[in-house]
Structure 1
Amino acid sequence: MEQTVAFWIAAGAATFFVGMSKGGLPMVAMMGVPILSIFIAPAAAAGLLLPMYILADVYAVWLFRGHYSARNLKILIPAAAIGIFVAFLLISRVPVEATKLVVALIGLGYLADALRKRLAGDFAACPADVPRGLFWGALAGFTSYISHAGGPPFQAYTLPQKMPKMTFAGTATITFACINWMKLPPYILAGQVTWDSLQQIAVLAPLALIGAWSGYRVTRWLPERAFFLLVNVALGLLCLKLLVEVGQAWWP
């Protein structure tokens, strides 16, 4: 890989955004792979960023050590492990575009239902129940492994619970930290994480940590209502981005 100045600028920006997403701002996570994909293949970009996610995860888990829903973690993490295992077995048989389409429809379906409830004046919170948690958690692990798009299923399950913003952000951070660690061995076997990428990570690592700290500070500063508005807007944009990618793949 030719390591030009432009590549390092893009890699630095992508790494910083990855860190910010781990600091509690999931809305910026979608920017990492597209930025790097200008210079390298998307699969290679995803492989380069995964160790950055894991590095930022370690710091972010410490930042959110007192803000999380233990019940959700007990449900979602084992469910995600099941989803990752199924995805590992089926990766060669499941079209990535089909997975992206399902994820986009899930996210848009949640947003449409949330809008319907708001217009109807239904502001009741849903509990963290095991059946729904197992389904959405497994789907988050599955889609995260195949197309790095575990956010919409996770949010479809957790946002209706109306947790405080710091609890929501901490639960998301810890859940996806576990998912990323579980994804690492298969990614190494697939050759997406290599010795060369690890050497690049050593250079970019400080930006991931700075990004995580910055994201945490912004999350604490944002008003509750503005935070969740941004989460919902980002979810909608991510779903539209996935639909565009599916359209470009199926109807070039």
Structure 2
Amino acid sequence: MLPDIQFFAAAIPAVALVGLSKGGLGGALALIGVPMMALVVPPLQAAAIFLPILLVMDAVALWAWRKHNNRPTLLAMLPGAILGIAIAWATSAYVSANAMRLILGGIALLFAVRYFVETFGPRRHEEPPAAPERPVAGTVWGSLSGYASFVAHAGGPPFQIYVLPLKLDPQTYTGTSTRFFAIVNAIKVIPYFALGSLDSTNLTVSATLLPVALVSTLIGARVVRYLKPAVFYPLMYGMVLVAAAKLIWDGLQF
């Protein structure tokens, strides 16, 4: 049985925002997707509904960015990402829905605050040199990315914390990011099936929402050429803060 109208009132905008992000409008939109849907269904179910949609998007993105990659970055981060997924899988049965909302809200809050500090803080005009590849740091941030990706498909910010200081050219960065998350999402299929989250109901809902994702991805790819980042990103991260506050509030209602 499909969810009710209240679910779709939250799910359609959530999927559309993630689709816009995949189209090129940035990480803030992807970060808010699961928290928004988690306002009407348990967080793990929200993440499970998103996973098949993300896999389809990944396939399209892999083809589009097939010629661009940075192998050392993947080698530095993927072992940690696999570890993070395993930890999230092992602990998911012991974490309540409210505790998961607290984790998810905390992740969203942390990275929204980080954005505002970096954008409007005292060091906003500083331009540090490119960092080298650091296997230990890559493993740490990769594990956090894998964990956050399993819980909420919110692995982007930890990935960015490690990769952005490398100052890769935009095409190489995008191609590397596409490969990293395509691999992470594919690996997540195993534990999601093992947990019973990819059942017929959730897969049916995913299929119902897939057209929204595809259309919004195409729109995002076109709109990104005209939108002013100085206006758009503060608005989007402000939405992340609102979603984070709501999830934390709900998670505290034990």
Q: TM-score range by the shorter chain?
A: 0.7 to 0.9
Aligned match for 1:118, one of 114, 124, 145: 124
Q: For residues 234 and 175 of structure 2, what CA distance do their matches in structure 1 show?
A: 17
Alignment CA distance shift 1:63-1:180 (3 Å): same
Which whole-Å CA distance do the structure 1 matches of 2:171 and 2:236 have between them?
17
Q: Structure 1, residues 137-158: CA drift from partner, whole Å, max 9, x if none?
A: 1111012213433222112212
Match of 2:251 in 1: 249
Q: How far is the alpha carbon of 1:71 from its aligned partner?
A: 2.3
Distance in 1 separating the partners of 2:11 and 2:109: 26
> Does residue 1:200 correspond to 2:205, yes or no?
yes
Distance 1:248 1:7 in 2: 17
Shift of 1:178: 1.5
* Residues in 1 aligned to 2:67 and 2:211: alpha-carbon distance in whole angstroms: 24
1:118 alignment partner, SS class: coil
The aligned residue for residue 49 of structure 1 is 50
Q: Is the 8 A contact 2:44 2:152 kept in 1?
A: no
Aligned to 1:91: 92
- Counterpart CA distance in 1 for 2:204 and 2:123 is 49
The one-letter code sitting in structure 2 at the alignment partner of 1:184 is V
1:108 matched to 2:113: yes
Q: Secondary structure at the match of 2:68?
A: coil
| CA deviation after TM superposition for structure 1 residue 87, in Å | 1.9
- Cα distance in structure 2, aligned partners of 1:161 and 1:11: 35
Q: Quick check: 1:80 aligned with 2:86?
A: no
Contact 1:60–1:173 (CA under 8 A) maintained in structure 2: yes
> For this pair of structures, how many residues does the alignment match?
248
- Residue 214 of structure 2: aligned partner: 209
Deviations 1:114-142 (A, max 9, x none): 744434x3432223322211110111101
Aligned to 1:141: 146
Q: In structure 2, what residue type is equivalent to 1:118?
A: R
Letter in 1 for 2:81: A
Is the CA contact 2:18–2:30 (under 8 Å) kept in the aligned structure 1?
A: yes
Question: Is the Cα contact below 8 Å between 2:105 and 2:243 reproduced in 1?
Answer: no
Paired amino acid for 1:101: G
**Which stretch shows the higher mean deviation, 6-15 or 176-185?**
6-15
Structure 1 gap segments, 5+ residues each? none
Q: CA deviation at 1:6?
A: 6.3
Is 2:35–2:104's contact at 8 Å kept on the other side of the alignment? no
8 Å contact kept, 1:103–1:152: no
Give the residue type in structure 1 aligned to 2:248: V
Kindly state the Cα deviation for residue 11 of structure 1 after the two structures are TM-superposed: 4.2
Distance 2:132 2:231 in 1: 21
* Other-structure match for 1:170: 175
Indicate the RMSD between aligned Cα atoms, in angstroms: 3.4
Partners of 2:113 and 2:236 in 1: how far apart?
Answer: 11
Q: Percent identity?
A: 31
* TM superposition shift of 1:90: 2.6
Tell me the residue number matched to 2:16: 16
TM-score by structure 2 length?
Answer: 0.77
Please give the alpha-carbon distance, in whole angstroms, between the structure 1 residues aligned to 2:28 and 2:109.
15
On the 8 A contact 1:105/1:239 being kept in 2, the answer is no
The answer to whether the Cα contact below 8 Å between 1:55 and 1:208 also exists between their aligned partners in 2 is no
TM-score (norm 1): 0.77
In 2: Cα distance, 1:229 partner to 1:163 partner: 25
Relative to 1, partners in 2 of residues 1:126 and 1:229: Cα closer, same or farther, differing over 3 Å? farther
In structure 2, stretches of 5+ residues that fail to align are none
Kept in 2: contact 1:44–1:192 (CA 8 A): yes
